[in-house]
Chains A and B, each alone.
Chain A
Amino acid sequence: MSRFYYTDSGFVMFLLKALSVNIYLTKERLKVITMESAKVIDVEKQSQIKARQKQMPKKKLTWKIIKQQKLLIIMSIPFVVWLAIFAYTPLLGWIVAFQDYRPQNGFLGSDWVGLQHFTALFNDSLFYRALRNTIGMGGLGLIFGTGTAISFALLLNELRFTRFKKFTQTVSYLPHFVSWVVVANLVTTMLSNTGVVNNILQFLNLTDSPINFMARPDMFWGIVTGAEVWKSTGWNAIIYLAAMTSISEEMYEAAHVDGANRFQKMWHITLPSIKPIIIILMIMSIGNIINIGFERQMLLGNNIVADAAIVIEKYALDYGIGMFRYSFGTAIGIFKSVISIVLIFTFNTIAKKTSDISII
């Protein structure tokens, strides 16, 4: 019954589900990655195969092939059905973006209004501010999130004292499990006028009067990104660490014989070896920089920094469904999907051109 307006237990279940999906996804990712990194070792071979594939003429789809592969086709049917039901069927709902949708009239009974909702959207100055903030904070989060995770993984990988390494790794990914509500409270408390940060700054005589960090619109993006980096570095590093463990020891030994020092080994062996994973993860997350959610902005924001804190999803919530404008909200959703697809394809193409790695 209460699927949409959460009851207590419903909400907890929802969180649990989200968590398990998350863990599941990570496991899947790790699988993909280990498979990928196995391939990395003979990149050359791979490119040869690819070249050969390009030369081969495209096979025509004939009954014979279908017959040959019928087992595979049958095996894939459940997944195709699953995809169609859960990923494509809901897309039918997109038609409400072109209607003046009222639930009581249903999909077919609502008036068609063409692109009216999109025009309204593109004429709203608040939308552009929300878009700028979303891409800004999403981009910063991606750059610094990936950057710190890779550096952290590299440094951790160099540790030879295994126990300490394991311990650090565990401690560093714990913040991932802390809710944003708690993180936001920690951050605001630390950055408040009487908080730790101001105390330190004043003790070191760097400022005379406390800096009211949370009241500075120009610092808001930075604070959000900082909090995110703190929360996710350890977690994101797991994937890179996993990738690094599959790099052949022989390469390091060979480099050692050649007299490479540690930094040279990192730069010339570790990084190039995990490059495909970095790029794949980048492609996967670049489409999501517009889907950054709104909880951290909402929890860390206040009325002074509202201009810097409004993001697309909050905008869609407040001005779409919060006002019973189902169609307007859907229009925003469509626009977001379009942006995501464009971003993924652009980055994918760039990656393909520059490094011959792509996922599409």
Chain B
Amino acid sequence: MTIKKIVGSVVLTSALILSACGNGEGESTTDGGNNTSDNGNGSSEPITLTMFHADLAQSDGFDNPVAQEITERTGVQLDISYPVGGDDLEAIALMIGSGDFPDLIFGKGGLNQLIDSGGVLALDDLIEERGDNLKAMYGDQLDRLRNSLDDPSIYHVGTAGVENQVLETSGTMMLQTGMLRDLGYPEIKTLEDYENAIVEFLEENPTTEDGEEWYPMVLSGADWRWLITVGDPASFVSGFSGDGQWYVEEETGEATYKFQREEFREYFRWLNGMNAKGLLDPESFTHTHDTYISKLSSGRVLGIADQDWNIGSAEAALRAEGNEWGLWAPLPVTLNEDTAPLVTRDYGFTGSTGISISADSDHIDEAFDFLDWMASEEAQILTNWGVEGINYEIIDGKRVQLDEDRENAQTNSNYSFETGIGQYIHPFPQWGTAAVDSNGQSISRTTEEDIRTNFAESELETLEAYDANIWVDLFPAADELGIPNHGRAWEIPLPTGSQVNIIQQRADDYTTQKVTEAILTDPDNFDNVWDEMLAELESMNIDQANEEMSEIINRRIELWGGAE
């Protein structure tokens, strides 16, 4: 009898435990379901839409003033998740693998895989029925949102702005304004000029006023930033368009893996020389991003080559400390006098990836209406300018940024997270820098006057010496450079199962390492290392990737309506 009792109790307890677990899960899911459906019905309570944001690098609680204003006007609260490890493709792959999609997905390079997996919704009908704001925004550019020739539906809206003007440069070679001043603002067009300027300056000023060493040139090549401070500047210096890891022959749409180009050999030979002469910081390829930024913030760095958004915190630090002459001037440096830098190029509307709506979302209509609202003039002014009275005021019918907000924007590296301004422009549908609202005012806060108001004294003086108003004036004008028919190669989401993906990853991993070796090697050995790299690239089947990429680009040109 006792045995039976014990057996009974054991069975009972295990059953209880199991059912308890089951209940727990069941309850929590139904709870969640109830909550959301309640919210959906009640108009006063905001509904929460989940969203994945591939480009976000830190948590955004959607609680800053702009976000609160968005919630107030639309009744939508966003719950934004982001790829913690920084790799958005892995996050997307796991999302597809688990079949667990948020309501709104900014899939970036993983868009095609999302479409293939059936996880995202075709938006054509919704846009046709009720997407008035979206239709007004995209106009005849709507075709550029289409997926492919075989499946010409629209699965996303957003990213790049519609109607652009180029007012800012990014990613070029830069020199310190203080150094240019001391040298009497020499003309700097080629790599040779760039190097000579540094050498000449160091001869006159071996150390800073405090007796500390200068950093002649610093790169950030230890992690993925290698691509923007080593790889991309090479493209700009070589006069290539901003096609990422590719060089595209625009007449034929033919793509080449850019490290196979001879121009690159020349750029890196120069960098190799810089290293051999001790002009390149030896820690360029080993220091962490934080160390890099702290070096830049010291005001002792003469030359860099980086994207604006990567050095924003260093610039903010320099400004905050009143060390304005430590800021850098972007310069149109190229391999030789005959090469034109294409940094200021207008690529047309390039939104080949953007926000999609999950096919099994419970809130498809709300999500779509939200995206459509984000394309409205009201929303665009809110996300660009912030809240009236807090960030700007209206004087004589015109929006004017408040002074304290301007100062905050320049010195606070967390500005967009705290105020929400600029935080919800990308990757949502957005007007470009050239767009104006119904009163004829610029929708974007970035205008030429605005840029000039934001400049430090050092920048204004440097510009004046070079006879320019803003930095882009130093570069060829955008309308001289033409608009490429394919947009930008790196933005094209690659088809699932394409070999390009695999070969390019191998080649990228290999070149980051091998080019670094080439830079650091003895100058006599440079050509050996470079030839070795070219041979190895061949053996990785890079030609096959080139071919496939050319085909992808040609299909893109066809989809976008051919040559304009």
Contact = CB atoms under 8 A, between A and B. Distances in A.
Contacts of B530: none
A103 to B, nearest CB: 5
B108 to A, nearest CB: 13
B359 to A, nearest CB: 11
Interface stretch (B279-287, B383-391, B407-415): B279-287
B96 A103 contact: yes
A329 B82 CA distance: 23
Nearest to A101: B97
Given A2-B81, A3-B100, A307-B513, A324 B93 contact: yes
Interface in A79-135: 102-104, 126
A303 B84 contact: no
A78 interface: yes
B242 to A, nearest CB: 22
B46 to A, nearest CB: 18
Interface stretch (B447-455, B499-507, B554-562): B499-507
Interface string B11-23: 1001001000000
Contacts of A70: 7
Contacts of A325: 502
Which one of B52, B82, B96, B221 has the highest number of Cβ atoms from chain A below 10 Å of its Cβ?
A: B96
Nearest to A184: B288
A192 B50 contact: no
Contacts of B221: 302-303
B89 A5 contact: no
A185 B94 contact: no
A253 B26 CA distance: 62
Nearest to A10: B81
A207 interface: no
Given A74-B10, A78-B14, A104-B117, A322 B84 contact: no
Nearest to B81: A7
A334 B234 CA distance: 41
A126 B506 contact: yes
A215 interface: yes
Contacts of B11: 74
A66 interface: no
Nearest to A317: B90
A4 B50 contact: no
A303 B90 contact: no
Where chain B touches its partner, the secondary structure class is: helix
Given A304-B516, A306-B509, A214 B501 contact: no
Interface string A155-194: 0000000000000000000000000000001001100110
A302 to B, nearest CB: 4
B93 A322 contact: yes
A102 B117 contact: yes
Nearest to A318: B505
A43 interface: no
Nearest to A8: B59
B280 to A, nearest CB: 12
A343 B494 CA distance: 40
Contacts of B223: 302-303
Contacts, number: 128
Interface residues of A, number: 41
B50 A1 contact: yes
Given A4-B94, A319-B502, A74 B7 contact: yes
A326 B113 CA distance: 12
A130 to B, nearest CB: 11
A102 B116 contact: yes
A3 B222 CA distance: 30
B94 to A, nearest CB: 4
A6 B59 CA distance: 11
Contact of A322 (B17, B89, B96): B89
A71 interface: yes
Indicate the member of A3, A4, A303 with the most B CB atoms within 10 Å: A303
Nearest to A213: B286
Given A4-B95, A306-B512, A324-B96, A185 B288 contact: yes
B6 interface: yes
Interface string B219-238: 00111001000000000000
A6 B3 contact: no
Interface string B256-298: 0000000000000000000000000011011110110000000
Contact of B516 (A102, A303, A326): A303
Contacts of A11: 84
Interface in A1-33: 1-8, 11
B90 A321 contact: yes
B290 A185 contact: yes
Contact of B91 (A4, A302, A318): A4
A212 interface: yes
B497 to A, nearest CB: 8
Contacts of B110: 324
Interface in B91-113: 91-100, 102, 110, 113
Contacts of B282: 193, 212, 215
A322 B117 contact: no
A5 B95 contact: yes
Given A1-B50, A74-B7, A303 B283 contact: no
A360 interface: no
Contact of B283 (A3, A8, A104, A192): A192
Given A1-B50, A317-B90, A324-B110, 16 more contacts: A1-B102, A4-B91, A7-B59, A70-B7, A188-B291, A215-B286, A302-B285, A318-B505, A319-B502, A319-B505, A321-B93, A322-B90, A322-B505, A323-B93, A324-B92, A326-B97
30 contacts: A1-B100, A1-B102, A4-B94, A4-B100, A5-B82, A5-B84, A5-B91, A74-B7, A74-B11, A78-B17, A102-B117, A103-B96, A103-B117, A126-B509, A188-B288, A192-B287, A192-B291, A193-B282, A193-B283, A215-B282, A303-B285, A303-B512, A304-B520, A317-B87, A318-B505, A319-B505, A322-B505, A324-B92, A324-B110, A326-B97
